[in-house]
Structure 1
Amino acid sequence: MTREERIQQSETRIFKAVFPSTTNHYDTLFGGTAMQLMDEVAFITATRYSRQKMVTVSSDRIDFKKAIPAGTIIELVGKVSYLGHTSLKVKVDIYIEQMYCDGREKAVSGDFTFVAIDENKLPVKIE
């Protein structure tokens, strides 16, 4: 399988409903909750690509372009954007969909870096 085919096959998409229990006093999704969901999608994407033990080592940048209101559906999309010797980067985007209307828009995007580790938690080559 080529590198590009592996990247395509490891792309991860998760949908969530935004319930009031995950929102702040402005009735929008907590930023920390968005970051937690993004890190989870990034981890799944990195693991699906490498099929190795992966750990998050950094979140390079997270841009909150639009508030995510309660009562919406969000889609998180993770895709490998860079491959190194022992590390890789995953770009995660969050899209908002209204429950009862067509269309969607990008709300948040961020980059997460992962390192492959062995049983001693030392970096290893990504196969």
Structure 2
Amino acid sequence: MTELLDHKIARAETRVFKAVFPNTTNHYDTLFGGTTLHMMDEVAFITATRFSRLKMVTVSSDKVDFTHPIPGGSLVELIGSVVRVGNTSLQVRVDLYVEQMYSEERHKAVSGLFTFVAIDQDKRPVRILQEHGAPSNSILNNG
């Protein structure tokens, strides 16, 4: 079972690169926080959907830490990874790395946790791993 979950987690990891253009920056010429959260939630959603192949909805964003500013004219990589699977919910960690466009400099700038619930066509929660019989609240990674 663990091997199957590990395989599903590895396949669901999502990586997206974006350029930080002027229309996404604030008056300090850094990436606007709301835009950052939007990008992170989108990557988390894609990760959750790739893992479960079910309809997923965001129910929570937790502990989003902005540790470094993200200047306009830089590149960002967002990496989404499943870190916890429950009966009907799962948690995705998204780390955002900033890279200078014209150098090799790179560092983590933001990280956050996003919780999703799988739903059916009537928008009711459904089991995520129903066909695999995985134990509920399986902790897959510790952050």
After TM superposition, the score normalised by the length of structure 1 is 0.98
How far residue 47 of structure 1 moved from its aligned partner, in angstroms, is: 0.1
User: How far apart in 1 are the matches of 2:32 and 2:105?
Assistant: 23
Structure 2 unaligned blocks of 5 or more: 130-143
- Equivalent-residue separation in structure 1 for 2:96 and 2:65 (angstroms): 10
Q: Deviations over 1:11-55 (max 9, x none)?
A: 000000000110000000000000000000000000000000000
For normalisation by structure 2, the TM-score amounts to 0.87
What is the distance in 1 between the residues matched to 2:39 and 2:71?
Answer: 16
Identity %: 64
Q: Distance in 2 between matches of 1:103 and 1:46?
A: 30
Deviations along 1:53-111, one digit per CA (max 9) or x if unpaired, are 00000001100000100000000000000000000000000000001101310000000
* Cα RMSD (Å): 0.8
89, 100, 107: which one aligns with 2:102 = 100
Q: 1:60, 1:123 → 2: CA distance?
A: 20
Q: SS of the residue aligned with 1:81?
A: strand
Which structure's CA Rg is the greater one? Answer: 2
Per the alignment, residue 132 of structure 2 pairs with none
Unmatched 5+ residue regions in structure 1?
none
Q: Which residue of 2 aligns with 1:7?
A: 9
What is the one-letter code of the residue matched to 2:35? Answer: T
| Aligned structure 1 segments of 4 or more residues deviating by more than 2 angstroms | none
